[in-house]
Chains A and B, each alone.
Chain A
Amino acid sequence: MAEILRLDGITKRFGPVLANDDISFALNEGEVLALLGENGAGKTTLMNILFGHYMADAGTVTVAGTPLPPGQPGAALEAGVGMVHQHFTLAGNLSVLDNVMLGTRPLFSLRAGRRAARARLAELSGRFGLAVDPDARVADLSVGERQRVEILKALYRDARVLILDEPTAVLTPQEVEALFATIRKAVAQGLAVVFISHKLGEVMAVADRVVILRRGAKVAEMRSAETDRHRLAEAMVGAEITPPDVPPAVPGEVLFRLDRVSTAGTPGLRAASLALRAGTITGIAGVSGNGQRALADLLSGLEVPVEGRAELMGAGLGIWSPRRAVGAGIARIPEDRHATGAIADFDLTGNAMLEDYHRPPMSRRGWLDRRAARRRAEEIIARYDVRCPGPATPIRLLSGGNMQKLILGRVLEAGPRIILAAQPTRGLDIGAVTYVHRQLLAARARGAAVLLISEDLDELRALSDVIHAIHDGELSPAFARGEITVKELGLWMAGQGGRDAA
């Protein structure tokens, strides 16, 4: 097969940070190349250079033998490079057809040429197995359908190289399968695919070749047929990773219970039942936007039940508010640590006292005790290994992993009975992920009840003693560890559980 894409010595600096360090690789027609690396390894930067969003400081991109002018997305598109971004670039209020047609015709033509476009879109949909209604408003589509629109956009423009940036992050297992089928159809027709991921299983499943990036540099390149997950992981992290041991659970009393609880808002919970037991981890699997936030908000005191009964330590919730939730010993690791977990411009001391600044020892008779607060921050920094210049550092200067460690310290120091961990490892590198997992398991061993909301099925299946799937605000029945396969879980996540779960 002929070579279609070549990157030569790509180097890119952002200030003092070397994001891409002399990276080279080539891609052939009909081949799937996986670009594997942790968050911050430089994958997305590299693809943005390839696509012309960024200018490389050095190096060249060659498509089908012709070098691309740097920094021009238009030129990359012309040459047949199509990119599906991690964050979709679709206009929600426009139709699928409009989104696909955008920018494909000279701006100053008098007609849009919708009829021809519609026919071509239908033809591509059929050829690549990407069914989607051309007249649907993009905002009304599911995430999986939106991704199909993104891929169709690229195919519509005769893409010969398709770049998929973390395409599976938001999909159910079944949608992932469908995506892989599309990728196989595409390469069978001579397209080349670059598949960016940090998930080893997917890379092994779909890629012919794997290029591994670490800290901006290419550290390895192997054929997926000649390697295994373990070796990929080692190359990606640069060290041996041992997952934490999960000892058998010692379930205690029920600390928090939902009995057919519904909440307001969309998507709110709908008649959800759940029991969090001391000494267990309860996992919630689901594609984001299916009511996870309502569940997390309910536990954090931001949301109240409008129907059904919620019990905390065997008693009703009473007047429920975030402050009462904190007072009742519920530790909250929020989903979006930047938006709701920390105040970016406050220093570590300020952020460490956010949940109990109004109580001794953080304040007395209405006055803050800065010294006690600073001591608390220093303790957390030491005990939870928060890498930072000191407690007076604004928290926005910390990496995601270190920010998460501070939040962990803040909520775990008090020895909480109930822990809400919403997407606690999102965006963290493997080292930090393992650390968070160990902390959650330690809390479980201490007798805490942990609610773990995650999109990472591997994480959920490794840690959870009990697992529920959530779809459109409805919780599936509880499944004990090992009682449910990924496939069945995927069906529940798609709202089809219990029907044909064979």
Chain B
Amino acid sequence: MELFDILVSATFWAAVLRIASPLIFATMGELICERAGVLNLGIEGIMVAGAFAGWIAVYAGLPLWGGVAVAFGAGVAFGLLHGLLTVPLGLSQHVAGIGITMLATAATYFAYRVALPEVSSPPKITAFQPTGWAVLGSQTVLTWAALATVAVTGWVLWRTPLGLALRAAGENPAAVEAQGLPVHALRMGAVAVGSGLMAVGGSFLTLSAFNSFFFEMVNGRGWVCIALVVFGAWRPGRALLGALLFAGFDAFQIRLQQTSLGAGLPYQLFLAMPYLLSVLALVVMSRRTEVPAALMTPYNKGER
């Protein structure tokens, strides 16, 4: 009975959307990168950097949207670095991506210490407030922006010439080249914009979900997004569904811990639940998916 009560409570659904928002931004970012043929394992670090950059910008006096823009810019910068390594230089996308994650995390830590040398606990800012709009009024405007991002990503990828070129770059870059389009520029652009979205996803944590910055706050969400892209079969709508599902599990387990059932079981079990269920869903859903054929394949003009 308690389980049912959880599922029909408005706060549960509000929590689902709140937990899903950063995942939605970052998943769309990763999806754009991978559709163009570049795996971006820098996502975890870029989210950390975005969370910090947005927060410190607002702390320094910028408006909240300014913070989001700064986070996006930080993401673009790391994305360009990842793109430089993997697109024109053609390095291993795995290695470069993990390197970006380590670099972005360390650089954030460094910047934090430089900016705030003497504080023991990070200062708080005034974050985005609930809109109070009719349906799900407890959400901030950033959540609505996340949902809009899904629609825009879908539109661009499937309804515009640019999207067609990006998807083709991830399927067969030689075909793109043969049509006189610049493969490297397309891929670099996709990685830059995708990384920007990842960073915005990170900044949601500091500018909307919470009002301060902690290092552990991204906590593996980047890796979850990598899985969500696969789960979503590289389609924005299905990836959104995956993000909501994961967030649903997460919100559910927190509430489950407070029930009589939760009292009898170790809480770590509940923490692991969304991940376990995600793995399960991944296995079921991704059997027959069409991976972008040129994902992780560098393209060099004049080579076969």
Contact = CB atoms under 8 A, between A and B. Distances in A.
Interface of A: 53-54, 72-78, 83, 85, 87, 89-94, 98-99, 101-112, 153
B303 to A, nearest CB: 11
Interface string B178-210: 111100000000000000000000000000000
Looking at chain B's contact residues, the main secondary structure is helix
A102 B302 contact: no
A94 B168 contact: yes
Interface stretch (B128-136, B156-164, B269-277, B279-287): B156-164
Interface in B145-161: 159-161
Interface in B284-304: 290, 292-293, 301-302, 304
Given A73-B178, A74-B180, A83-B178, A91 B162 contact: no
B172 A92 contact: yes
A94 B302 CA distance: 23
A91 B301 contact: no
Given A89-B172, A89-B177, A102 B159 contact: no
B175 A89 contact: yes
Contacts of B304: 87
Contact of A101 (B164, B172, B180): B164
Contacts of B172: 89-92
22 contacts: A53-B177, A72-B180, A73-B180, A75-B180, A89-B172, A90-B172, A90-B175, A91-B168, A91-B171, A93-B171, A94-B167, A98-B168, A102-B176, A102-B179, A103-B165, A107-B165, A108-B161, A109-B160, A110-B160, A111-B159, A112-B160, A153-B179
B159 to A, nearest CB: 6
Contacts of B164: 94, 98, 101-102, 112
Nearest to A86: B304
Q: Shortest 3 CB-CB distances between A and B: which pairs? A: A103-B179, A74-B180, A91-B171
Contacts, number: 87
Contacts of A102: 164-165, 168, 175-176, 179, 181
Given A83-B178, A98-B164, A93 B302 contact: no
Given A102-B181, A110-B159, 13 more contacts: A54-B302, A73-B179, A77-B180, A90-B175, A92-B172, A94-B164, A101-B164, A102-B165, A103-B165, A103-B179, A108-B160, A109-B160, A112-B159
B302 A53 contact: yes
Nearest to A51: B178
A223 B292 CA distance: 47
Contacts of B301: 53
A57 B165 CA distance: 31
A89 B162 contact: no
Interface of B: 159-165, 167-168, 171-172, 174-181, 290, 292-293, 301-302, 304
A102 B181 CA distance: 9
B224 to A, nearest CB: 25
Given A54-B302, A93-B292, A85 B178 contact: yes
A93 B177 CA distance: 17
B167 A107 contact: no
Contact of B161 (A54, A75, A77, A112): A112
B174 A89 contact: yes
Contacts of B174: 87, 89
A83 B165 CA distance: 19
A77 to B, nearest CB: 5
Nearest to B172: A91
A83 B180 CA distance: 12
Contact of A91 (B163, B180, B181, B293): B293
Nearest to A107: B162
A155 to B, nearest CB: 14
B221 to A, nearest CB: 29
A110 to B, nearest CB: 6
A90 B174 CA distance: 8
Contacts of A108: 160-162
A73 B182 CA distance: 10
A87 B178 CA distance: 12
